[in-house]
Amino acid sequence: MRFFVKGKGLFCLHISDKVYQVLCEKNDLISVPDHVAHWFDMGSEPEFTAIRLFNNKEGWVAEPTGSDIAEKFPLLD
């Protein structure tokens, strides 16, 4: 889970054959389900603060997919 304290960022979730883009701003909370391919765009001039909560001691562990799908969607800017 991520709670946005200030600023903004764009989460993109690739679920089945669709991509959902979620603009997260101050006071937003987002939870990305396990094993859902996703990426995060901070924009060209990132300025945000988010609190990340984990349910395991390892924290976030990347699982690269090798896909280029992120290049086919608009960025935050």
pLDDT given at position 34: 85
22, part of any domain: yes
pLDDT given at position 58: 86
pLDDT band of 60, cuts 50, 70, 90: confident
Model confidence, pTM: 0.87
Q: By residue range, what is the domain housing residue 10?
A: 2-56
70, part of any domain: no
31, part of any domain: yes
| Residue 72 φ then ψ, to 5° | -95, 0
16, part of any domain: yes
74, part of any domain: no
Read off the pLDDT of residues 2-55 as tens digits, 9 standing for 90 and up.
Answer: 999 999 999 999 999 999 999 999 999 999 988 899 999 999 999 999 999 988
67, part of any domain: no
C-alpha–C-alpha distance, residues 74 and 77, integer Å: 8
**Domain count along the chain:** 1
pLDDT given at position 59: 85
